[in-house]
Structure 1
Amino acid sequence: MTIVAPHLSPSWWTSLSVTILILNFLAPSEAQNTNVTCGPDWDWAQNSKGQNPCLVAAYLMEMCYYPTSPTGDASTQNECVCSTPVYQLMSACGACQGRLFVGWQEWKFYCPSYGFGAGQFPKAVPVGTAVQYWAQIDPAIWGDNFNADRAKAIGGIVLWFTPEIA
């Protein structure tokens, strides 16, 4: 089942920004932690280290130092948040808690082009985490939305991203 909330109000972005900031500051930068939990029917979404998509997203967003969701304010955009893996992970994070999430087109609306392709992450994956293969899938392939059924079919396979862009 895919839950999509198209055309959400700007207050949704504010709520997401606060959630992301909380995820980022729950623990010291070398060891992310979160109290966000996914139900047992979302065990498939964990990575090879047993980390849920919320925690993996926090690790990735920390790589750009100022994690937030893409908004109309140019000062809040960064290449980590605007990447498809962060979109997929944050969508799974919302879905695994029974929350709504936006489609890829709405997520990236305020993101400038950072010069990396769909499915890529602009930095090296941080030590202490691994990124699930389904999070590296271009959302356009799934109809421009996170698709829990398709991600679950892929499961916890882990691949490595393209290293940091020069």
Structure 2
Amino acid sequence: MGATNVVRWLTTCIALAAFFELRVTAQDTDAVCTLASLQWSFNTEKQSPCAVASSLLGVCSGGDYKVVALPDTDTEYLGPSIDAANPCQCNTVVYSLMSACALCQNGTIITWSEWITNCAPIYTTFPKLIPDGLRVPAYAYLDVETQDTFDANAAMQDMLLSLRLYPQLHQQLAVHNHPSRFRKHLPLRLLPVPPHPLQSH
């Protein structure tokens, strides 16, 4: 293989790698966080919990998953359907992010047990490799099983604490199988709406 062909081959490989990385980390959502009081739920890249959830959900669907906006206030995102349930949906990390996504739109949330009604198995962390460069907020790893819900107050306190203690590392948990961090939470109701697997009402 001549030098020119080698250069062309390397250029093609680099282009393909960039393409696939963009596909994996692509975020697709028209959900807009309207509540200023939920700005703490954004990651260090100023991406909303809806956008971060979209990227994680896309890992199980070829890199593309649209988290659509809630149609109205006091509506919620439902958990995965029987036919569409997969590991990217059936875990506490995505449940927490979708709950924060609903709340920042002034929506409501469902309980963890309602979210996983059609899931088997279920995971207490994100079970797949997290896309390169994606910053998953620290609060997404908090325990939701003990109180069976996402606790927005505990999540906010966790974010503020991590910001004070680790200002440079705040929210930058882009690691595979980060261990769940268990806290006791106060109950709080929530919910979300996507165009395919996850429904809303």
TM-score norm. by structure 2 comes to 0.59
What secondary structure, in the 3-state scheme, does the structure 1 residue paired with 2:157 have? Answer: helix
Pairing partner for 1:63 from 59, 62, 70: 59
Shift of 1:136: 1.0
Q: Is the 8 A contact 2:133 2:174 kept in 1?
A: no
- Name the Cα RMSD after superposition: 2.4
What secondary structure, in the 3-state scheme, does the structure 2 residue paired with 1:36 have? Answer: coil
Can you list the C-alpha shifts for 1:135-162, whole angstroms capped at 9, x where unaligned? 0112024x11111111000115332443
Matched residues in 2 for 1:153 and 1:54: separation?
A: 20
Q: How high is the sequence identity, in percent, across the aligned residues? A: 33
Q: Is the 8 A contact 2:53 2:94 kept in 1?
A: yes
Structure 2 residue aligned with 1:145: 149
**Unaligned stretches of 5+ residues in structure 2:** 1-21, 66-77, 160-169, 179-201
Name the CA shift for 1:148/1:83 in 2 (closer, same or farther; >3 Å). same
Shift of 1:29: 5.3
Pairing partner for 2:132 from 127, 130, 146: 127
Structure with greater strand share of residues: 2
Structure 2 residue aligned with 1:42: 38
What secondary structure, in the 3-state scheme, does the structure 1 residue paired with 2:103 have? Answer: helix
- Opposite residue 158 of structure 1, the aligned amino acid is Q
Q: Residues 6-155 of structure 1 correspond to what in structure 2 (within 5 A)?
A: 30-38=25-33, 39-65=35-61, 69-71=79-81, 73=82, 75-113=83-121, 117-118=123-124, 120-141=125-146, 143-155=147-159
Q: Is the 8 A contact 2:132 2:174 kept in 1?
A: no
Q: Is the 8 A contact 2:24 2:131 kept in 1?
A: no
**Unaligned stretches of 5+ residues in structure 1:** 1-26
TM-score norm. by structure 1 comes to 0.70
Shift of 1:126: 1.0
- Bigger radius of gyration, 1 or 2? 2
